[in-house]
Structure 1
Amino acid sequence: PESIDPTSADGERIVRALSLATDSGGPATLAALRARAEQAAREAGAQEQSLQPPAVFVDLKPRIDGYFELCRAARSIADAPDATRFDDLVRAALDTFDPGVVASTLATLPIARPSRDLVLPLTDRVNPAYESALERFAAEVVTPTLGATNRLTEADWRQVVDQFTAPPPTGGAASDIADLRSAIRLALFQQNLLRFANSFVSCPDLYHADRRAAFEAGTLYVGGYAMTFAVKVANRQFHAETARTSNIFVVYASVYRDAPPAYEVAVPVTNGTGRRLFRGKQGMFVDTVGREWNAEIVDIVVNPIGLMEAVGRPFRRLGEMVTGRIDAVTRDAEAAIDARAASVLSGTPAPAPPASQPGSPKAGPLAGFGSVATAGLLVAAVTSAIAFVTSTLSGVPWWHIAIGVGAAIVAVALPAIVSALFKLARRDLSIILEGARWAMNSPLRLSRRQARFFTRKAPRRRHRPRRPDKTS
């Protein structure tokens, strides 16, 4: 880039990295930088592999270090023989004529007889338990490092250790990788700086059909709808308390594959209806890179989704209440009929009603008829009421009836309409983001067009979903 100062230390490294990526005469593209970085990584990996110590070195290093420690201890005692204690322990094991005792004794002894001259023999007069390991050590470690020899001094041993524990070289492929990483970071920052800044200022990608904002998690498909705005949530309870003030209908979905949930997302529902959305509802979640996950609705924050749904909600509640009451009466009547039929078929009398307590009101004349009589009276009352209303309205002009019915509907629906209009006009997406710990400076009000953009009918045919562009 033209803004790099080639005379500075960082500028010199980046210019060198760019020259490495363009050594074949090609342009300094991001692909060229990545290709050169991969090549340098392979070279560094091969170089690092060549510096890895052999397994026999790792296994014998503690034993060889302990051997030289014993040699220095024996050297500090002037009259200490070289191998008296070593030989005595070996003879005691041999006297048992037990191979297991001999093997366990040899495994606890040093790798060779301690010597006051600080020399480790590699071939003869070594501990038989380590004889084969020392042969491999001499062939794989000592000979490539020191040349052919059958003895190892302490100075030679330190030289071998230093070779395999030296810090990795800073030049060559390792330096190329560091420089290329800096160049790639610079190229990525320069390429995406505007989008990076916009993600914290105006969030234009939030309203783009083919790109994703930095805080978006993916698209939720559930209940016949595609909800394209979703944010990850770490604390669902806190987010739900915050989302209630957003005036937006929000569903919380658990995203998972086979195991426990990978994460949870908060998804605002801005269009359609929420009648098919409930806890336990299964769906599919597609993240921003196109991976498909299982999804299950685990919580819901109820707010108006649209005006028509808000208007119809009081009538649905009234219908549910009436239907529930009728179902309860019907269940009681069916239970009473089943009990009487069972008593007749079995030949046992029906259970007598409980005796009345002193001071309690006397049972009416229809008390013995039970729920069947109650149901009959209810039907008769409803029929009589319908007949009365019909006879009363037969003399009233039809337009009076229409006005009365309309007034009743308006009286029921008007409060819901006013409340829904206020809430729909004050829907705020920024509160959804703030609940997910994103700092927002101003509200993000939802227009009707944006509401249809974020929640739409799931397409029945193949379509192009919202996905990030190739540079994200």
Structure 2
Amino acid sequence: MTNNITPHKWRFFRSGGFDQVALETAADLQHLSELDPKLWTVLSCPTSGLEIDSRTLALLDLDGDGQIRVPEIQAAVSWSCQRLTDAQLMFQPPGVPLHAISDADEIGAAIKLAALRVLEYTGKTADDSLQVDDFADKSRLFSPDHCNGDGVVMAQLTADEDVKQLITDIVSVLGGVADRSGGMGTDTEMLSSFVAQAQAIVDWHKAGAAESDDLHPLGSDTAAAVAVFDSVQAKVDDFFVRCQLAAFDSRAAQALNPEATVYAVLANRAIGQGEDDITALPLAEVGAGLVLPLGQGVNPAWAEKIQQLGQVVVKPLLGNMPESLSFADWSAISAKLATWRAWQAAKPDSALHQLTLERLTAIVTSDATARLEQLIALDLAEKTFADNVDAVERLVHYQRNLVTLLRNYVSLSDFYQGENKAIFQAGTLYLDQRSCELVLYVADMARHASMSPFSGCYLVYCTCTRQGEAAVNIVAALTGGDVDELMVPGRNGIFYDRNGRDWKASVIKVVAQPVSIRQAFWSPYKRVAAFIEGQLQKFAASRDKDIETQTTSGVADAAAAPAATTSGFDIAKFAGIFAAIGLALGALGTMLAAVVAGLFSLQWWQVPLVLLGVMLLISCPSMLMAFMTLRRRNLGPLLDANGWAVNTRAKINVPFGAALTGLAKLPQGAKRSLKDPYAEKKQPWGLILLVLLLIAATVGYWLYW
């Protein structure tokens, strides 16, 4: 049985040296998943550094890895076509009318209903189109006074005063959870935690309120007594442990009491009762079987607290006020206060203590918690609406931006056809009387600089700064004009980003490559001229240095030996110099004579051809290398260095390269005056030198031939 399904007829155009698919109709989008990925221009691109809506890229990046891949593109296109009644809307100006959303299935009907509610919430009618800006402020779509499906409930959502007060308490004490509307509310998890903490505090207070001699040995004064006990417990325990050690070993007593040298430090200055040096000393003299005095013999720094211990704790618990406290009495007191202290140690660690016990009791005993749980469940039931709102937002973003991405991904039509800038073009760099349109942002300079030379383009890396903005790095391809005056570092230009903002651009690196055949033709002569100029500068500098050295040494010698006689004129040396000059001129004349003789032996019309041939012989290697480099000039490495996966050789030939770099030229119809009042006056020395060379060549020819 034969398959009668007619394959989709694709239309391709050729640009950049390869075939690119044209995406122009709804059918092209509907069959995009059938197009062989080998015919796609790009297989992956990053979600950053592109001139396209970042929210759209985030929606496309389903796995959140920062890359847009072919399956994600295919899924987005397929989903968009399924959710629209006519996919041709993807090629229309931004905006999705309500009637354009397909309700052929249950999901589509729910999305369409959510779109209608979005129009209502944003103050539009059913006849208006949905725009990306309608989703910029989610608080209009998910206001606090209606459910939004996030499971977070704010106080504004209910008219129940008890529930409203409960939400307010939770937010004020625990901070709350962010609601889609932008405010703070509570969810089930925070509500459960709040109620559990409230119950724990109530139970703890209930345990402390129990009438028990073990818990309240001093009745209402127990809390005050425990506070005094806790303030000296560690110091009293320290005293009795020292005495026990002294009883264990008599040699320990002397070591456990302060050395006399401790008091010597205090002898020659005024001593304060609460000084740290005194506070650190034992409560009393340490010895085997000794008791803690409650009056005389106590460390002055602790005397007041020990006296307070006797009055508030010891006397009420023992029934009398002894002059001293034995270890047995101290242990008995500790045991009587242990229950209260254990209860205090069990105090729940919670921020809810800032609420009164009465309020916490009302919370755990009322049914406001159950009503709040029902309200949260009601809000969660609206999750379908929230998900559908997200779907409407996705559809609106795709309708506005997806085709633009396709024309920079499946093909590079935006880059090669010139109607719109490609999404990877960051803006325009103005530098050295030219404008560069192929400018890319650079996130990783080292990676980019290592790969970019394979593009074959002359590249200029710049750091761009603007007041109030973080500095950015860019790379610009120079595809026209001369590049002799570019200097690194420090050459400055102006970069205009896609929003029209100007940045100061400073050149930090240059990747030198041929720009044109014409430049390559003259480059050998420019290199020779630069070499000669450099050698002359070195020679002049060395001679200047020698003269300075000789002058300095001569002055020094003259000062040291004023009576020395001046040496006479060396006629032999002078004659030798003139003889050398004569030989050099003779050799030069002989060479010129040979050249002139050769030229005179030719027909007059052959002379220009010979000169042209000599020039071509000199320039051909440079021109050949430039020709080969310009033929392999390729956009791919520039994008690959930024994290793209380019699937073809996207060539930048000479005509297209000329379109990417604009050179300075006078406006059409402009008038120009050639009179320059500050122009340098022409000197006849060049013409005189040329005449002398011709005369020398003629004389040499006459003498030797």
TM-score, normalised via structure 1 length = 0.67
SS of corresponding position for 1:300: strand
- The counterpart of 1:301, out of the listed 507, 511, 518, is 511
Distance in 2 between residues matched to 1:378 and 1:176, nearest whole Å:
101
Amino acid at match of 2:111: I
Determine which of 112, 129, 133 is the counterpart of 1:29. Answer: 129
Which aligned pairs between 1:188-267 and structure 2 lie closer than 5 A?
A: 188-209=397-418, 211-257=420-466, 262-267=471-476
* Deviations, residues 96-152 of structure 1 (Å, cap 9, x unaligned): 999xxxxxxxxxxxxxx9999xxxxxxxxxxxxx9xx96xx57xxx9xxxxxx7884
Structure-2 separation of matches of 1:418 and 1:223:
27
Q: Against the structure 1 CA distance between its residues 33 and 80, is the aligned structure 2 distance closer, same or farther, given a 3 Å change threshold?
A: farther
Report deviation, 1:276.
Answer: 2.7
Structure 2 letter corresponding to 1:423: T
* 1:422 aligned partner: 628
Q: Does the CA contact (< 8 Å) of 1:21 and 1:28 recur in 2?
A: no
% same residue: 17
Secondary structure of the equivalent of 2:395? helix
CA positional deviation for 1:445: 1.8
329 and 7 in structure 1: CA distance in 2 versus 1, 3 angstrom threshold: closer
- Distance (Å, rounded) in 1 between the aligned partners of 2:414 and 2:655: 16
Counterpart among 531, 536, 554 of residue 326 in structure 1: 536
- Change in CA separation of 1:425 and 1:63 when aligned onto 2, cut-off 3 Å: closer
Partners of 1:328 and 1:289 in 2: CA distance:
49
Q: Are 2:635 and 2:652, in contact at CA under 8 Å, matched by a contact in 1?
A: yes
Shift in Å, 1:85: 3.8
Alignment partner of 1:17 is 2:114: yes
Match of 1:57 in 2: 173
SS at match of 1:313: helix
Task: Give the superposition deviation at 1:435.
Answer: 2.8
Conservation of the 8 A alpha-carbon contact between 2:202 and 2:360: no
Whole-angstrom CA distance in 2 between matches of 1:460 and 1:56: 69
Deviations 1:328-352 (A, max 9, x none): 11111111222233344455579xx
Tell whether 2:658 aligns with 1:452: yes
Change in CA separation of 1:76 and 1:307 when aligned onto 2, cut-off 3 Å: farther
- 1:336 paired with 2:546, answer yes
> How far is the alpha carbon of 1:205 from its aligned partner?
0.9
Contact 1:218–1:288 (Cα < 8 Å) also in 2: yes
Per the alignment, do residues 36 and 416 of structure 1 end up closer, same or farther by CA in structure 2, a change over 3 Å counting? Answer: closer
* Residues 40 and 177, structure 1, Cα contact 8 Å, conserved in 2: no
Amino acid across the alignment from 1:444: A
1:278 CA displacement: 3.3
1:216/1:230 contact within 8 Å kept: yes
Deviates more, 1:377-386 or 1:272-281: 377-386
Contact (CA 8 Å) 1:219, 1:230: kept in 2 or not? yes
Q: 2: distance between equivalents of 1:161 and 1:299?
A: 68
Answer yes or no: is 1:43 the counterpart of 2:143.
yes
Match of 1:316 in 2: 526
CA contact (8 A) 1:43 1:173 kept: no
Structure 2 unaligned runs (5+)? 1-83, 87-100, 147-152, 157-166, 176-193, 232-301, 306-340, 345-350, 561-569, 668-705
Write the letter of the residue equivalent to 1:40: R
The 1-side partners of 2:614 and 2:402 are apart by: 59
Does residue 225 of structure 2 align to residue 88 of structure 1?
A: yes
What is the alpha-carbon distance in structure 2 between the residues aligned to residue 201 and residue 5 of structure 1?
26
Q: CA deviation digits over 1:193-226, x for unaligned, max 9?
A: 3333222122111135452323333222222221
Q: Structure 1 residues 339-348 or 274-283, which shifts more?
A: 339-348
- The offset of 1:309, in angstroms, is 0.9
Classify the secondary structure of the residue corresponding to 2:379: coil
Taking the aligned partners of 2:610 and 2:136, their CA distance within structure 1 comes to 82
Alignment of 1:433 with 2:639, yes or no, is yes
**CA offsets, 1:132-173, max 9 Å, x none?**
x96xx57xxx9xxxxxx7884561599579969x95963799
Indicate if the aligned counterparts of 1:222 and 1:284 stay in contact, CA closer than 8 A. Answer: yes
Give the CA deviation at 1:32: 8.6
How far did residue 186 of structure 1 move? 0.7
Residues 414-461 of structure 1 deviation map (CA, whole Å, 9 limit, x = unaligned): 111222222222222223222323222221122333112211126899
Q: Tell me: CA distance 1:428–1:288, structure 2 relative to 1, closer, same or farther (3 Å).
A: same
Q: Which moved more, 1:241-250 or 1:72-81?
A: 72-81
Q: What root-mean-square deviation, in Å, do the aligned CA atoms of Structure 1 and Structure 2 show?
A: 5.1
Residue 384 (structure 1) shift: 5.2
Q: SS at the partner of 1:283?
A: strand
Query: For 2:204, which of 66, 70, 74 is the aligned residue?
Result: 70
Distance in structure 1 (CA, Å) of the matches to 2:538 and 2:646: 50
* Alpha-carbon distance between aligned partners in 2 of 1:337 and 1:406, rounded to the nearest angstrom: 44
The match for 2:85 is: 2
Residue 170 of structure 1 aligns to a residue in which SS? helix
User: Are residues 42 and 346 of structure 1, via their aligned partners in 2, closer, same or farther at CA, if it must alter by over 3 Å?
Assistant: farther
Counterpart pick for 2:612 among 406, 410, 415 = 406
Q: Residues 171 and 80 from structure 1, CA distance in 2 versus in 1: closer, same or farther, beyond 3 angstroms?
A: same
The 3 A distance-change label for structure 1 pair 71 and 38 is closer
- 2: CA distance, partners of 1:197 / 1:241: 29
Aligned partner of 2:390 in structure 1 is 181
Q: Retained in 1: the 8 A contact 2:479–2:661?
A: yes
1:312 Cα offset (Å): 1.3
Asked whether the equivalents of residues 426 and 497 of structure 2 are also in contact (C-alpha less than 8 Å), the reply is: yes
Q: Secondary structure at the match of 1:293?
A: strand
Does structure 2 retain, via aligned residues, the 8 Å contact 1:310–1:417? yes
Deviates more, 1:212-221 or 1:417-426: 212-221
CA distance, structure 1, for counterparts of residue 541 and residue 479 of structure 2 = 39
Query: Which residue is equivalent to 2:501?
Result: 291
* Distance in 2 of aligned mates of 1:172 and 1:259: 45
Once the 2 structures are TM-superposed, how far is the Cα of residue 275 of structure 1 from its aligned partner?
1.7
Q: Cα 1:448–1:7, aligned 2, differ >3 Å: closer, same or farther?
A: closer
Structure 1 residues 36, 344: CA separation in 2 closer, same or farther (over 3 Å shift)?
A: closer
Once residues 360 and 649 of structure 2 are traced to their aligned partners in structure 1, the CA distance between those partners, rounded to angstroms, is 80
List per-residue Cα deviations over 1:313-337 (Å, max 9, x = no partner).
1111111111111111111111122
Q: CA deviation at 1:249?
A: 1.6
Q: Pick closer, same or farther for the CA change 1:384–1:181 going to 2, 3 Å.
A: farther
SS at structure 2 position matched to 1:215: coil
